[in-house]
Amino acid sequence: MSHKFKIGQRVCRPRLGTPGEAGEVEVFEILRLMPQDQTGEPSYRIRTKAGERAIREGDLVAAAQP
């Protein structure tokens, strides 16, 4: 399985809740591609406001282009 996103790409978490609900979406930057986890899902290192963290591909969507 290959990675869906590339290094430097902007991504965000899918919005949960009521459609049309107001709220700010945090945008992350892909820093590093990581190997698949035990379930076979690719993961990434992303930059957040608080620093870096790991996240699974299924928890991300591409961010809208500015």
The whole-number pLDDT of residue 24 equals 67
Please report the pLDDT score of residue 23 as a whole number: 59
Instruction: Please give the pLDDT value at position 11.
Output: 96
Tell me: the pLDDT tens digits for 9-47? 999 988 665 555 555 678 999 999 999 988 899 999 999
- Tell me how many degrees the CA angle 30-11-53 measures, rounded to the nearest 5: 50
Evaluate if pTM is beyond 0.85: no
26 token code pair: 């945090």
Residue-wise burial string across 24-58, b where 16 or more C-beta atoms lie within 10 A, e elsewhere: eeebbbbeeeeeeeeeeebbbbbeeeeeeeebebe
